[in-house]
């Protein structure tokens, strides 16, 4: 699987070069002066890095369900029949990041898989277990089963030190043809408008990346992991010179959580809602350009409030790094380790000041996740009470109340009636739903008519369903 479904608009600019420039360029051309210059190669880096890049195979068993079996008359005359099983397979890449056999790949490569296999560069195959999935960053960590050896692993580079123009190589398994190496440069940094994960902060490269490269390595010229390839911008499905990678500093955070035994990534909680600075807001604030992250609201008693951050403050930097927009701040803040504090640069009323924000996790007591099993429109939905941690994960206002759907089985009744991940259930048959226990109780009562009030995309919706 691979993220490559955008509609691209391609503009070609034809630029005429002057005769003078051509004459200068001709003077700079020269024939290689020695056999050594002809032998310049990336091969030493590839040989060192390639053994740590793997192929990831995911398989999922699905039922081929005949819709005619829903008709009782059809079942009476033709029998119930048997539902045929079909195995859906997906192919991607991965990177060994620890000698014990920890592998990083993309969540979308192994999403919903019943079985995951990893093939090494020497053709050996291992079953793999999923240690951690972090949908917010589209990163997953696998562990090779029955591994009794030390594996070649890649070290992380500091992705904050990368520069546009740096040479990089992409290694993965495009189109399933086998391990392939391509090279190019870093075309841009801090891309925040890609729209595929919660943390919009990507490395852009022109190294050829294609379907199957998902989860593969983007490495620098020191043979260190600069990022995990995750998406391309294409209208043909193939590489058009615009690929995106998740920076190594975000990958490092996810791997650290997996190593510590966590099932979820622990990240700092700001306790404030940020918004982008529009040209109109910039003009009203007397800014020369619309940059920074504007504080829209602050959660009482949260880290931001305790540090003295206020609504209408403009965040311009964190720990000495410039913040251009809320996405940049979210990424910078999320990659800070828990504990200690981060120093943020703020403009308040046109005057600069510095605030120290404590790096602590959001309160998460009372989440009480459960899967609704009672025969009802909610059957098969995984739901959670909205805690500050849940609100932070789903980008909800901190004072949001109710129960939110966090997962849906593809063939579950809840999915079939039209519920979506992120729906907030406020009431069922005029009964307020404040926690998951309330929804479980309401779903357990047989009803001919279900009247449901929910919030989707900020809009309140009233739904009536038959029992």
State how far the Cα of 78 lies from the Cα of 249, in Å rounded to an integer. Answer: 59
Neighbours of 274 (CB within 10 A): 23
Strands 180-191 and 102-106, bridge-based pairing: unpaired
State how far the Cα of 442 lies from the Cα of 432, in Å rounded to an integer. Answer: 10
Residue reference for tokens 């500050």: 388
Distances (CA, A) of 24 to 16, 28, 32, 169, 403: 15, 7, 18, 31, 68
State how far the Cα of 304 lies from the Cα of 333, in Å rounded to an integer. Answer: 12
Pair of tokens at residue 10: 């391609």
Beta carbons of 343 and 307 less than 8 angstroms apart: no
The CA-based dihedral angle spanning residues 233, 107, 199, 232, taken in that order and rounded to the nearest 10 degrees? -10
Beta carbons of 128 and 103 less than 8 angstroms apart: yes
**Under 8 Å CB-to-CB from 363, ≥6 apart: which residues?**
387, 388, 389
Beta carbons of 89 and 57 less than 8 angstroms apart: yes
Strands, E, within 233-380: which ranges? 243-247, 272-276, 293-298, 314-318, 321-322, 341-348, 351-358, 370-371
Task: List active site positions.
Answer: 108, 138, 214
State how far the Cα of 119 lies from the Cα of 341, in Å rounded to an integer. Answer: 41
Neighbours of 445 (CB within 10 A): 12
Closest CA to 407 of 111, 106, 65, 3: 111
State how far the Cα of 430 lies from the Cα of 427, in Å rounded to an integer. Answer: 6
Strands, E, within 261-324: which ranges? 272-276, 293-298, 314-318, 321-322
């Amino acid at each position: 699987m691979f993220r490559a479904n955008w509609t691209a608009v391609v503009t070609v600019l034809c630029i005429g070069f002057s005769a003078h420039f051509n004459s200068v360029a001709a003077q700079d051309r020269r024939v290689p002066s020695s056999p050594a210059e002809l032998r310049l190669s990336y091969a030493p880096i590839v040989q060192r890095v390639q053994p740590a890049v793997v192929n990831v195979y995911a398989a999922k068993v699905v039922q081929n369900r005949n819709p005619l079996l829903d008709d009782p008359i059809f079942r009476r005359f033709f029998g119930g029949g048997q539902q045929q099983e079909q195995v859906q397979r997906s192919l991607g890449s991965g990177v060994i990041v620890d000698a014990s056999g920890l592998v990083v790949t993309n969540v979308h490569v192994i999403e919903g898989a019943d079985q995951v296999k990893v093939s090494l560069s020497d053709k050996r195959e291992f079953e793999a277990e999923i240690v951690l999935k972090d949908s917010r960053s589209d990163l997953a960590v696998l562990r090779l089963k029955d591994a009794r050896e030390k594996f070649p692993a890649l070290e992380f580079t500091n992705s904050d030190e990368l520069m546009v123009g740096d040479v990089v190589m992409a290694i993965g398994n495009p189109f399933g043809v086998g391990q392939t190496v391509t090279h190019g440069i870093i075309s841009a940094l801090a891309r925040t408008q890609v729209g595929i994960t919660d943390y919009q902060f990507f490395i852009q490269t022109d190294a050829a990346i294609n379907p199957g490269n998902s989860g593969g390595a983007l490495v620098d010229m020191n043979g260190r992991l600069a990022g995990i390839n995750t998406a391309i911008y294409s209208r043909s499905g193939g590489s058009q010179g615009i690929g995106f990678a998740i920076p190594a500093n975000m990958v490092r955070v996810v791997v650290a959580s997996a190593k510590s035994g966590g099932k979820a990534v622990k990240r700092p909680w700001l306790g404030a809602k940020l918004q982008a600075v529009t040209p109109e807001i910039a003009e009203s604030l007397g800014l020369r350009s619309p940059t920074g992250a504007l504080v829209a609201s602050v959660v009482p008693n949260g880290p931001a409030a305790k540090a003295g951050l206020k609504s209408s403050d403009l965040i311009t930097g964190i720990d000495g790094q410039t913040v251009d927009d809320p996405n940049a701040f979210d990424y910078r803040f999320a990659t800070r380790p828990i504990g200690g504090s981060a120093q943020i640069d703020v403009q308040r009323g046109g005057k600069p000041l510095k605030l120290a924000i404590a790096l602590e996790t959001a309160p998460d007591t009372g989440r009480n996740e459960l899967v609704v099993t009672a025969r009802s429109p909610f059957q098969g939905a995984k739901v959670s009470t909205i805690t500050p941690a849940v609100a932070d994960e789903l980008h909800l206002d901190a004072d949001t109340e109710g129960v939110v759907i966090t997962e849906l089985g593809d063939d579950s009744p809840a999915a079939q009636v039209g519920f979506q991940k992120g729906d907030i259930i406020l009431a069922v048959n005029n009964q307020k739903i404040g926690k998951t226990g309330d929804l479980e109780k309401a779903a357990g009562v047989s009803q001919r008519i279900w009247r449901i009030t929910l919030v989707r995309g900020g809009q309140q919706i009233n739904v009536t369903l038959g029992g």
